[in-house]
Copies of this chain bind each other. A is one copy, B any other.
Amino acid sequence: MVDILRRLRQSGIQPTAQRLAVARFVLDTTSHPTAEEVWQRVRRGSPTLSRATVYNTLNLLVEKGLLKAQVVREGAVVFDAHVARHHHFVDEETGEIQDVPWDAVKVVGEWSPRGYEVQDYQVVMRGRRRAR
């Protein structure tokens, strides 16, 4: 586990106990949790933690670039500590999300609607657990 405290400080985030607890979990998981899931998890160790603080902290981490919000699942935004470019695979049955390495697939062909510029792109794959 990386030194979370240092990372917060380096990003100009006042490391309160709550922020540290949230960050320690969310910056160190690959599970793409929703805000609710972060709350449920971190609450176990910090029982007074409020939902509002979780949302505040997650939004702050996104704003500071330590976290990325991904809109790939219906109903809720998920948070991804993997900030470098990569693709995603979404299990349609469970909603589970997995990272797909950037080099696993290659997108060939520059393309953007006239008058627009593409700043970012990713491949979103959807599927299910293999029948066996």
Contact = CB atoms under 8 A, between A and B. Distances in A.
A125 B120 contact: yes
Interface stretch (A3-11, A19-27, A48-56, A97-105): A97-105
A89 B124 CA distance: 13
Contacts of A72: 71
A77 interface: yes
Which size class do A's interface residues fall under? 35 or more
Interface string A93-116: 000001010001111111111011
Contact of A105 (B91, B98, B111, B124): B111
A86 B115 CA distance: 20
Nearest to A69: B74
Nearest to A113: B98
A92 B74 contact: no
Given A71-B73, A106-B107, A111-B100, A116 B127 contact: yes
Contacts of A116: 89, 91, 98, 127-130
A77 B75 CA distance: 9
Interface string A46-83: 00000000000000000000000101111001000000
A129 B109 contact: no
A30 to B, nearest CB: 12
